[in-house]
Amino acid sequence: MTDPKDDLAADALVCGAGASGLLAALALAQAGLDVVLAGPTPPVAPGRTVALFDGSVRFLQSLGAWEAIAPDAAPLAVMRLVDDTESLFRTPPVEFRAAEIGLEQFGFNVETHVLVARLQALAARQPNLRLVPDLLEDFRFGAEAASARRVGGPRIAAPLLVAADGRASPARRAAGIEVSTTPYGQTAMTVVLSHAAPHCDASTEFHTRGGPFTLVPMTPGADGRPRSGLVWLMRDAEADERFAMDDAALARLIERRAHSLLGAMRIEGRRGRFPMASMSARRLAGTRIALVGEAGHVFPPIGAQGLNLGVRDVAHLVEAVTEARDRRLDIGGPEAMARYESLRRADVATRTAGVDLLNRSLLIDGAPMDFLRGAGLSALAAIGPLRRAVMRRGVMPQIGAPRAMRGEALQTRAPSR
């Protein structure tokens, strides 16, 4: 741990010590940069899990992180969509099977606090990665370096600042990057459940009038009972009543909402709660700053896209930075940042728009929208090539995917300092 009295200089300063920040710091350090990762460990809402698709798992493998995570990760072999809107155009459930596109599983689901803890342990052993568990303030973006001051302490300076400090990102605000935010009038509940019937490595997303109600497989509990993580989006007006229920009553309600798919339910641990909104930064890069993860984009937890999009941010940032370094360009200069922006903009824009459209289609109670949504789901169920194309696109873009997510090793080099 670094003495807080010392000024620091590095090749890259990563702000934010959540999953995206840890991944960015580890990847840049393993690419040969001298990195400072600054920020306290952010709180994780109870019951939060994250689904890591195949490309994200490959990226974690390239960092040497997956081996420690794998024992606590449950495979996702089937993803099921169920229209539970009670509309006139309801369709039969649609199942996406990983085997149909040549995979054993689409990816794995792991508790968020476990993922962060394993990445922290790896970061603590990375020789050219310095950890500063302090909040940063007074961000400055100059011609040759970006810098920030530790609260109550000296400054940290680097040619590149990576903002991984969440949706409220102080670094992004200081850089003058504007955002577009859309509230949905929804609240998300997260909770871990144990249940009587096995989940069979299947995730089930019920589409309801309040938003998606998603059960995602987890590893068994200490007592051997099957477990699943729940993410339940509901209208704000319903949230207070449901959060006021005791565990037994809430478990019965969840079982009914799931149509007893997994049998009798039991609440395990505390519940998480957070308001639902989408947020998109107008730019993903600026003068000596690159945004990754929720500093650049936030949207509802539909289709397990959130962190996977952030992993691709990190993987593409490493590509842009190493390309600049190998061409003897400034790694935080205009060309490198423009390259990062060009690599990420289309992927982020299309995923954000797609998730936003699907979530809005559930909230709009009208025959035309119900018909369009039903027709889309029916097409996915009936047309094999379309279904397989959607699966491949959901797991990872086939064009322009980061090298490390295609199974190629990170381009490493000895630390510059």
Is 300 inside any structural domain?
Answer: yes
Which pLDDT value is given to residue 405? Answer: 72
Is 206 inside any structural domain?
Answer: no
Structural domain range at position 343: 8-181+285-397
Could you tell me which residues come within 8 angstroms of residue 237 by beta carbon, excluding any fewer than 6 positions away?
none
Is 275 inside any structural domain?
Answer: no
Is 95 inside any structural domain?
Answer: yes
Which pLDDT value is given to residue 134? Answer: 92
The parts of the chain modelled with pLDDT lower than 50 are 1-4, 417
Which pLDDT value is given to residue 1? Answer: 41
Q: Which of 188, 191, 185 is nearest to 255 (CA)?
A: 191
Which pLDDT value is given to residue 218? Answer: 97
Which pLDDT value is given to residue 4? Answer: 47
Which pLDDT value is given to residue 3? Answer: 47
- Cα–Cα distance between 43 and 18 in angstroms, integer? 9
Rounded to whole angstroms, what are the CA distances from 144 to 90, 187, 393? 58, 43, 39
Is 191 inside any structural domain?
Answer: no
Which pLDDT value is given to residue 417? Answer: 45
Which pLDDT value is given to residue 322? Answer: 96
Which pLDDT value is given to residue 2? Answer: 45
Is 65 inside any structural domain?
Answer: yes
Task: Provide the domain count of the chain.
Answer: 1
Do 416 and 11 touch, CB atoms closer than 8 A?
Answer: yes
Q: What is the CATH number of the domain that holds 392?
A: 3.50.50.60
Is 122 inside any structural domain?
Answer: yes
Phi and psi at 384, nearest 5°, equal -60, -50
> How confident is the model over 56-109, as pLDDT tens digits?
999 999 999 999 999 999 999 999 988 887 766 667 788 889 888 888 999 999
Rounded to two decimals, the pTM is 0.89
Is 221 inside any structural domain?
Answer: no
- Cα–Cα distance between 217 and 403 in angstroms, integer? 29
The b-or-e profile of 264-301 (16+ CB within 10 A means b, else e) is: ebbbbeebbbeebebbbbebbbbbbbbbbbbbbbbbbb
